[in-house]
Copies of this chain bind each other. A is one copy, B any other.
Amino acid sequence: MVTQSAASTSNPSELVQPINKTAHEFDKTTLDALLARRFFFAPAFEIYGGVAGLYDYGPTGSALQANVLNEWRKHYIIEEDMLELDTTIMTLSEVLKTSGHVDKFADWMVKDVQTGEIFRADHLVEAVIEARLKGDKEARGVKDEPVVEEDDKKKKKKKNVKSVAIKLEDDVVADYESLLAQIDNYTGPELGELVRKHNIRNPATGNELSEPVEFNLMFESNIGPTGQIKGYLRPETAQGHFVNFARLLEFNNGKVPFASAQIGRSFRNEIAPRQGLLRVREFTMAEIEHYVDPLDKRHARFHEVKDVTLTLLPKDVQSEGRTETTRMTVGDAVAKKIVDNETLGYFLGRTQLFLEKIGIDPSRMRCRQHMANEMAHYAADCWDFEIQSSYGWIECVGCADRSAYDLTVHSIRTKQPLRVQQKLDQPRKVEKLDVQFDAKKFGMTFKKDATLIKETLLGLEKDKLQCIKDELASGTSSVRCADGKSYDITPDLVKIEPITVTEYMREFTPNVIEPSFGIGRILYSLLEHSYWAREQDKARGVLSLPSVVAPIKCLIVTISQDAELRAKIHEISRKMRRIGIASRVDDSSASIGKKYARNDELGTPFGCTVDFATIQKGTITLRERDSTNQLIGQVDDVIEVVDQLVKGTIDWSGASAKLESYSGVQDVEE
């Protein structure tokens, strides 16, 4: 609460309390308490003991989420005329088999052979080795270095393992450090070998661990009463876009580029979720699939974002083991080929603007490029917007170039042409390479894989075909297919010859650029970035949410329980509701100061107070959350100013120009 001495200050300029969020240490415990107490979110089925990785959003969290999604819809779907979709969560297993999720969307787990406790293998190995290195430092008397910002990305995966001060041999330390640097890179069997080699056990029991077993992260279920139709809860909304591509393309009159967009729930059955909203089993995503001509990835509105500055962490820097970032405009990043193309650059720029608009601190946001070994199985290139919070740097938005992967595999599997036909302005003679197959031999050699290999060969670009032709000239060549395997081919199976053809149409499978937003992660990061406490009242926090996303825009209170004043606040509330301002009346008997403090916790940016002057002169006061500054004016004038503040057409200094400043009644303590 505000101290008495501050409350009795009468000079309004002294009431301005500049926000200095970083001046005091971030206190996660008090933020967590606030978020629970004011029901932003809570563990699902809490009264039943809860289930790890499942959370419910309460009234404040739901409103915050609805406002963020509403801004997202305006910023992307409406602004860019995207085609919105709403597809099913329950997904036919065959679709996810084709997309590769049934085979590859898995993590490795190990079991305590005695208790059956389950761990994610890579996380456990990492945690145990890190604890041993820490113990070594303690034994050597080396003080643990303060965590470098860029390094605490690792923290997000750490399971709490206590270190014991034991000195290690120098070569063991080097071995461990090299192991940790590659921890994202090991296969399951390799992790099993590490467990044996380094005698890694369950830290809690000391028991041995089982061999790593693959665990698919999709929730499985059966559709219909026969149990014969298998379904999965979608792990991403993207496949719902791709299977509808033909209809979407037709809706867009057969032309690319265009984008589809979808907001909805997805599910991942995490092995051992921790970290609150950052690693959950059910979450809201917002995904865009932007379809482009693979030969022309320019973007018509690129000029609008070319001057937006990004904080970049490219892959070549990371592969040298460094983590320093570079500030660069989108235009420069694309010109220098750090970001591959205009469309990818366009979405990075637009996303930077979006995240800033909803209140993410730009200094705690960076674009990190994926290294080759960590890319999802479908991705050709990928940049993550990472946001820093107390959990370290966390991926919150992924911008991936999924290439033509998904549309190609679905097209092959369903025999539906998921391709764009483009009429050429002029028919053109083209030198092509014609691929001919010895149908019988080819079929006998490759059996069930024959069609896939054939389609792949027929779909290759000319230079790639030329390479294969050259290789065949001297014997065997090979072709890599969408199933991830390479197949050897020989001249008796396939002949490649140059021919000249006249083309009237061009046909191609579009590439897909996918910005994919994890809404829960963004919300949690936003709450941390918005949270601070006033010097005078550290127990109660303030959430400095931008008014565009704040759950409630305006608090309406009276200074007393007088019936006439109480009637007035409900009248003001009705007026605000009519023009669409989400306001909240607090007609409880708490003090004004307490009412303000309660609403600072909710991030409510403005507050109107009714007092006896309202009856006598028709005025009310208007308070701004961060500065606690107050203005005064006629009821309707103040409502209009609030409306403009909420819509963002004026800011507080604009408001101060329209209304008188006020110093009569202050934030008083309860």
Q: Which residues of A are interface residues toward B (Cβ below 8 A)?
A: 38-39, 42, 44-48, 51-52, 54-59, 61-63, 65-66, 73, 78-79, 81, 83-92, 94-95, 109, 116, 118, 215, 219-226, 229, 231, 233, 240, 243-244, 246-248, 250-251, 253, 260, 264-265, 267, 269, 271-272, 281-282, 284, 410, 413-414, 416, 577, 582, 584, 588
The answer on a CB contact under 8 Å between B282 and A225 is: no
Q: Is the interface of A mostly helix, strand, loop or mixed?
A: mixed
Q: Contacts A45-B91, A220-B221, A282-B88: A39 and B269 contacting too (C-beta < 8 A)?
A: no
Q: What residue of chain B has the Cβ atom nearest to residue A252's Cβ?
A: B59
In the complex, what residues of B have CB within 8 A of residue A63's CB? 84
Chain B residues whose CB sits within 8 angstroms of the CB of A58 once the complex forms = 83, 85, 244, 247-248, 251
Closest B-chain residue to A59, C-beta based?
A: B83
Residues of B within 8 A of A62 (CB): 84-86
> In the bound complex, how far is the Cα of B269 from the Cα of A52, in angstroms?
26
CB of A584 within 8 A of CB of B81, answer yes
With A246-B47, A269-B225 as known contacts, state yes or no: A88 contacts B52, CB within 8 Å.
no
Question: Which residues of the partner chain B approach A39 to less than 8 Å between Cβ atoms?
Answer: 247-248, 250-251
Q: By the criterion CB–CB under 8 Å, are B86 and A57 in contact?
A: yes
Give the nearest-CB partner of A585 in chain B.
B81
Please tell me which one of the listed residues B48, B220, B584 contacts residue A95 in the complex, with CB atoms under 8 A apart.
B48
Nearest neighbor of A590 in chain B, beta-carbon distance: B253
Q: How far is the CB of A210 from chain B (nearest CB, A)?
A: 12
* CA gap between A251 and B65 in the complex, in Å: 18
The answer to whether B247 touches A109 (Cβ under 8 A) is: no
Task: Determine the chain B residues whose CB is within 8 A of the CB of A219 once the complex forms.
Answer: 90, 221-223, 231
A-B contact pairs, 17 of them (CB 8 A): A38-B251, A39-B251, A45-B91, A47-B246, A47-B414, A47-B416, A52-B224, A56-B240, A59-B85, A59-B251, A62-B84, A118-B226, A219-B221, A219-B231, A220-B222, A223-B281, A225-B272
Q: How far is the CA of A61 from the CA of B262 in the complex (A)?
A: 13
Residues of B within 8 A of A414 (CB): 47-48
What are the 7 tightest A-B residue pairs by CB atom distance, in nearest-first order? A59-B83, A57-B86, A56-B87, A62-B84, A47-B414, A62-B86, A44-B88
Residue among B66, B229, B584 making CB contact with A84, cutoff 8 Å = B66
